[in-house]
Structure 1
Amino acid sequence: VCTTGTFYEMNHGTAAAQRDVYRTWWFALILATLGTNIFCAMMKRYPWKKHHTGFVMAHIGILTLLAGSLVSLHFGLDGNLALFEGETGDRVALLDKALQVALPGGSYASFPVVFEKDPPRPGHECRFSVPGTGVVLVAEEFLPHVALRESYEEAAAGGPALHFVLEAPFARQDSWLAAADPARSRIDFGPAAFAFLLAREGQDVAARARGAPGKNSLSFVLAPGGRLLYGLTTARGQVSQGEVVTGRPVETPWMGMKVTVDRFLERAAPHRTVSPAPPPEKDERRLSAVKVRLQGPRGRSNPEWVVWTEARKVAWESGTATVAYRAPEVALPFQVRLLRFNSDKYPGSSMAATYESWVRVDDPERGVSEHHISMNHPLHYRGYIFFQASFVEGEPMMSIFSVARSPGLPLVYVGVGLISMGVLWMFYLKPMLARRDAARALLAHKERESRHEAPSADAARGRPGAAEPASSGA
């Protein structure tokens, strides 16, 4: 079973292995059965004798190891901490999943869910009551993997948005940019970065459109009066500017690339489409989604698709509620700040050969300390272990740490030690003691034989001497 679980984790990821193998009732039953068999096998030899020492020691070690593993599995911590350079964090995202809801007025609730095993569907909805409110969060439908298409539509109110297409000799990419949304006003495609900016009255439009040297960039600027301009900056600092005409490509000096704005909306509202897609094998690469609604005494909200890791605003009664589908978090008793991240690549390749982080730990109990974390050198601090798990390229760089805490680890160490000593006792020390006892027994036997032969010899010599006087007298 453990071998199968290992291969399952390799193919589907740690979270899937925890959910489908190690934290299931049948795996706990297997461990309990194994522990019971080991205990009964040990007690079958009771009362134990001296030669049972290694046997009993090894069996107690196995039971201690199982107990420590169960303690760590059910009471330990296994999650991730992602930090940008210069960012400080103290909350670890667990490998579990939860639906979270925040209602107007401050009511909040979090509900652990495992929709991969028991998904909601029409006729089989999952209902979660928010304590003290009379409101129910209803999960209507679940998709294990979705294709998410985000776009913008003409609206009566809203900020400007545009859609552009980047065409290269062997590739094509497109995207929307929204000037009023900081999260959607910029995008980086790798070879070049794009931005959509607003120029206020009296502001220098040319300066606004100029990008920073060192990277290829194209900035669209909406000038006062409604004119849409662009500023193209190369990595060497060369600048060219002009006016954007919808449908007309802008030639760039970047390896034959062309950029075309095919849609421009002065007032736009975001719109997205969620559709099912074939799921990848690994859980970490899946983008699941759940359709939810709020229901209460005064009515219900419109259904909304909530994609994994995001929070959605939902109009509810006289205010706005927030529904999130993401990992629950656990607070650390200290703060971690990412000071610097470094990644070295294989020569002639974009694949990372090694990556490492320098962090500062601000602990109210132990003070401030700085540490280095690399792929093969985790940080051990106050029972927590920080592994350098991954990273995300960008400006600034993001470092991802895997954080673990195993309260049963001391029991595991004790169990391994007892098993090792028991095996050494049974296969090395016990035979040595047996040979020593056999040698002692043989020596004692020889000593007894020698003591028995000595009086017999004396008696044999004494009998003829006693008979001689009788013979001479006759």
Structure 2
Amino acid sequence: MNKIKDLYSRLEKLLSSMKFAVCIISLFTLALIYGTFMESFHGAEYANRLVYKSWWFMFIELCMFISILMAVVVRLPPKKRLYGFYTIHAGLIVLFIGSLFTYTNGIDGSIQIIPNTPSSKIFINRDYAKITFPQLNKVYRLKLPYTASPEDLDTEINGLELQTYLPYAENALEWVERKNFNPALHSSHYQLFNANMSQEFTLSLDPNSDFKSSTKMGLLSIHYMPVILENCMTKESQSNLVIWNLETGDCFTPEEKNIEVKKTPKDSRFLVIDYQGKILKFFPDFSPVAVKDDLTKDPNSPFRILSRNVFEDKPNLFLFGESLAYYQKRKNKWVLKSLKEGPASLPWMGFSLRLLKHDIEKYPVQLPKYVKPVMDNNEIIKGAVTAIKVNYQGQEFWARNDGPLEITNGQDSIRIEIVPEEKKLPYQITLDRFVMNKDPGTNNPASYESYVHLLDGRNTEGIKKHHIYMNNPLKYDDFTFYQSSYFPIGPNEQYGSVLSVNYDPGRAFKYLGSLLIVLGSIWHFLLNRRKKVKKHA
């Protein structure tokens, strides 16, 4: 029993000592400095994950709380000369209690509102994995770790393994070996450049690739085609049509196969192909796909017909892996160029095209790689991707927050989404008007404000109108809505508004604690001053 009392006395002496307090305050100060630097470079959310809401920072705060509490305990019973001291420390304890309420029950999120559309859904900065099994009619929501660095999940749900979580990532280009060799499904990586700019892009015909077979750069439309079409695209023909047999891979012009090009009474060209006893009808100037009798498209047709007339009025570039073709108006002909020996010049704005990589055995994918986020003007410009690596039946996939991942094995399917935590408000906020003021010189946004109305069905007060702008938030039902940012929703500079939402159940405790600290400091000063006056009297 005496040993326990002795141990408690030593522990009490240590926890209430000035040395312990100085050490804890020093660690707390260093952590705040570190968090401030992280916030300035990587954003507030990253600093929260790394520092302010980490277990070690919470442990430092707990030690501070214990130090403050023990400093009061060892000075009991109360003494009049320490009334100010007691009040200061009581204020600090109340402040810690308020912070605890904020941490456990507080809400920090955002709400997106668009004109004339009621909204009541708050998105909170906490990631969830939403996993849907349609055949089982089951939906699972897995809370993801609140961490700033990659973390292993080691979770299995109905045969689906969730392996790694990346809170911040960037998509990196990688080339993956194709299981079944098919030279027609080739992929290429190019560089388009002139004296003023340079841009790289990747195109692929492989259905497993994350890259498409077409893209657009300004007015230039780029089409990635199978190699077998390169000669047909530049063949001279009166019809200016190219017929492509998907089954055999052959291509030819109507003139080569004596296929007649006819016209409707409205002067629309059409072709009829008799294939294995089936009549296939085409209107190539409108669609390369065959049409049925009711004029709906027939995607199962083995033929495609390309009308080169469609691509001659505007800039169009056709790429065939290691070669390219385009229509040159000045010479009124289609030009075919090789990219094997180096860059090929293009007839638009001094541009040239360089082939960086061409592969028939691998296809390009975008695999998430962990990075520390980078912020600029309160917007994340690097590391905006959140990803989860999953394994299903021995095959690895990446689910990202920029769209759902669909996995199927022919019988069962799985849908994986990374979504933020949601909270529904018991009232609705509608954007009436969004106003943006711009700097006259740079045309950059200088300020923006939202005119909204609020409708709460729980009472009979009706619609309440509010004007939200910088330093003038909307406060309602213990929630505070601040003007945060905006997003485009259509042409003619139409915007939606983003309001940051804060709910702080510990605010009253924080105000009370701060008031007690101020009053205690004044009281402590007056008591010490009276003591000094009596001493000198």
TM-score bracket relative to the smaller structure: 0.5 to 0.7
State whether structure 2 residue 319 is matched by structure 1 residue 289.
no
Give yes or no for the alignment of 1:325 onto 2:356: no
Q: CA deviation at 1:403?
A: 1.4
Within the candidate set 404, 407, 420, 2:502 is matched to: 404
Equivalents in 2 of 1:379, 1:250: separation in Å?
Answer: 60
1:339 Cα deviation from its structure 2 partner: 2.6
Residue equivalent to 1:123: none
Give percent identity, aligned residues only: 24
Residue among 173, 179, 196 paired with 1:170:
196
Mark the CA change 1:343 to 1:171 in structure 2 (over 3 Å): closer, same or farther: farther
- Residue 171 of structure 2 aligns with which residue? 147
2:62 to 13, 32, 49: 32
The alpha-carbon deviation at position 411 of structure 1 amounts to 0.6
Q: Measured at CA, do residues 438 and 24 of structure 1 come closer, stay the same or move farther in structure 2, by a change above 3 Å?
A: same
Q: How does 1:342-381 map to 2 (within 5 A)?
A: 342-366=435-459, 367-381=462-476
Is the aligned partner of 1:413 residue 2:511? yes
CA contact (8 A) 1:98 1:327 kept: yes
**Quick one: distance in 1 between partners of 2:455 and 2:423?**
17
Deviation (angstroms), 1:41: 1.2
Q: Which range moves more in the overlay, 91-100 or 166-175?
A: 166-175
Unaligned runs of at least 5 residues, structure 2: 1-30, 175-188, 204-211, 224-263, 269-283, 289-305, 319-324, 330-347, 355-362
Amino acid at match of 1:91: K
SS at match of 1:96: strand
- Relative to structure 1, the CA distance from residue 414 to residue 334 in structure 2 (aligned partners, 3 Å threshold; closer, same or farther) is same
Tell me which amino acid in the other structure corresponds to 1:378. P
String of CA shifts for 1:376-395, please: whole Å, max 9, x gaps: 22221211122222223462
1:107 pairs with 2:138? yes
Inter-CA distance 116–79: structure 2 relative to 1 (3 Å threshold):
same
Give the direction of change, closer, same or farther, for the CA distance of 1:6–1:386 in structure 2 (3 Å limit).
Answer: same
TM-aligned CA distance change 1:412 to 1:195, over 3 Å? farther
Q: C-alpha separation between the residues in 2 aligned to 1:257 and 1:403?
A: 48
* Aligned partners of 1:341 and 1:357 also within 8 Å: yes
Q: Quick check: 1:15–1:96 contact (8 Å CA) kept in 2?
A: no
Q: Cα distance, 1:31 vs. partner? A: 1.2
Gaps of 5+ in 1: 121-125, 151-162, 177-183, 206-220, 232-239, 263-270, 295-299, 443-474
| TM-score, with length taken from structure 2 | 0.58
- Going from structure 1 to structure 2, the CA distance change for 1:65 and 1:316 (only over 3 Å counts) comes to farther
Paired residues of 2:454 and 2:464 also in contact (CA < 8 A): yes
How many residue pairs were aligned? 371
For residues 323-342 of structure 1, what are the alpha-carbon distances to aligned partners after superposition, in whole Å with 9 as ceiling and x for unaligned? 01232222222222223222
Q: Distance in 2 between matches of 1:313 and 1:248?
A: 37
Aligned pairs (5 A) from 1:455-474: none
Please give the residue correspondences for 1:2-401 in structure 2 after superposition, counting only pairs within 5 Å: 2-104=32-134, 105-114=136-145, 116-120=148-152, 126-130=153-157, 135-141=158-164, 144-147=168-171, 170-171=196-197, 223-224=286-287, 226-227=306-307, 246=318, 247-248=325-326, 273-275=365-367, 279-282=371-374, 284=380, 285-286=382-383, 287-294=385-392, 300=393, 302-315=395-408, 318-366=411-459, 367-393=462-488, 395=490, 396-401=494-499
Query: Would you say 1:430 and 2:489 are equivalent positions?
Result: no
Q: What letter is aligned with 1:307?
A: R
Mapped to 1, the partners of 2:118 and 2:285 lie a distance apart of 36
Q: Please tell me the root mean square deviation across aligned C-alpha atoms, in Å.
A: 4.5
Distance 2:423 2:507 in 1: 20
Contact 1:249 1:261 in 2 (8 A): no
Please identify, of 281-290 and 99-108, the stretch whose mean Cα deviation from structure 2 is larger.
Answer: 281-290
Contact 1:146 1:289 in 2 (8 A): no
Q: Distance in 1 between matches of 2:214 and 2:478?
A: 41
Deviation at 1:55, TM superposition (A): 1.4
> Deviation per CA, 1:132-190, whole angstroms, max 9, x where unpaired?
xxx1431245565232669xxxxxxxxxxxx99997762355698xxxxxxx999998x
The Cα shift of 1:245 comes to 7.0
Distance across 2 between alignment mates of 1:10 and 1:27: 19
2: CA distance between counterparts of 1:50 and 1:68? 28
The one-letter code of the counterpart of 2:46 is A
SS of the counterpart of 2:142?
Answer: strand
Q: Which amino acid aligns with 1:371?
A: H
Q: 1:180-209 CA distances to partner (integer Å, 9 max, x unpaired)?
A: xxxx999998x879999xxxx99999xxxx
Structure 1 residue 293, shift from structure 2 partner: 3.2
Determine helix, strand or coil for the equivalent of 2:367. strand
3-state DSSP of counterpart to 2:151: coil
One-letter amino acid matched to 1:147: N
CA distance in 2: counterparts of 1:164 and 1:88, whole angstroms:
46
- The one-letter code matched in structure 1 to 2:400 is V
In 2, Cα distance between the equivalents of 1:349 and 1:319?
54
Counterparts of 1:169 and 1:202 in 2: how far apart (Å)?
A: 50
1:80–1:92 Cα contact (<8 Å) kept: yes
CA distance in 1, matches of 2:451, 2:371: 36
**Cα deviation digits, residues 202-260 of structure 1 (max 9, x gap):** 9999xxxxxxxxxxxxxxx97245547779xxxxxxxx956957443799xxxx86999
Contact kept in structure 1, 2:110 and 2:499, CA below 8 Å:
yes
1:431 Cα offset (Å): 5.5
CA contact (8 A) 1:166 1:258 kept: no
Q: SS where residue 20 of structure 1 aligns?
A: helix
| Equivalent AA in structure 2 for residue 61 of structure 1 | G
For 1:168 and 1:340, locate their aligned partners in 2 and report how far apart those are by CA, in whole Å. 43
Compared with structure 1, are the counterparts of its residues 70 and 245 closer, same or farther at alpha carbon in structure 2 (3 Å cutoff)? closer
User: Does the residue aligned with 1:327 lie in a helix, a strand or coil?
Assistant: strand
In terms of Rg, which structure is larger?
1
Counterpart contact for 1:360–1:371, Cα < 8 Å: yes
**Partner in structure 2 of residue 471 of structure 1:** none
Q: Which piece of structure 1 moves more, 401-410 or 347-356?
A: 347-356
Q: Which amino acid aligns with 1:170?
A: N
Give the whole-Å Cα distance in 2 for the aligned partners of 1:241 and 1:43. Answer: 87
Amino acid at match of 1:362: L
8 A Cα contact 1:111 1:128, kept in partner = no
Secondary structure class of the residue paired with 2:442: coil
Cα distance between partner residues in 2 of 1:111 and 1:170: 48
Q: TM-score w.r.t. structure 1 length? A: 0.64
